[in-house]
Amino acid sequence: MSHVRIAGFSVSLDGFAAGPRQDLEHPLGHGGEDLFQWFLPTRSFRSMHCMEGGTGGVDDDYGCRAMEGFGAFILGRNMFGPVRGPWPDDAWKGWWGASPPYHAPTFVLTHHARAPLVMEGGTTFHFITDGVESALAQARAAAGARDVKIGGGVATARQYLAAGHVDEIHLAIAPVVLGQGEALFAGLDLRAMGYRTVEHAATDKATHVVLRRDE
């Protein structure tokens, strides 16, 4: 059965999943890259970006799982890029170059319409202007029997969590503090929402925790 999952979502010890002041030089916000030191050296990350080599082990295992089994993805506008307001043109095509790592239909939440963007490797970005429920319905239809991944950013993940749509969450808790940024769980009572820890594993660079909602 198809599920909606958050996977490979990095968060700091003080609860922030992105740094402040996103820009072209800091796509994860200032300090945000510190959250992903568990992932950046791995084989799974490097292969996503057509690079060879990389580390194996537990972090790589979770990195692989964070991109496997998905038939569609949902992203917030900020996750797609730093452009704000109406699209000035079609020049911005995402952070990832000509071949994004999704290889599946990817639905971008936005207030501003834009034609679908077909990329190399099977990724097509669809720009959804009528809300999170519509994006999820379209993603489920596109995914078929495969899962839907809520890929971020923080505001998008929070909306789907608050609406009760997320079946499973994999967090990679980095041993760093950001001090400020975008808080992932502020105001969300995961226990009351039915989530419980079903898996955890620690490495030098992250503690991986999988939460699943009671059915």
Contacts of 188 (CB under 8 A, 6+ apart): 158, 161, 162
Chain segment 139-179, per-residue pLDDT in tens? 999 999 999 999 988 999 999 999 999 999 999 999 999 99
| 4-213 is classed CATH 3.40.430.10 | yes
pLDDT tens-digit map of 63-76: 999 999 999 999 99
Its pTM stands at 0.93
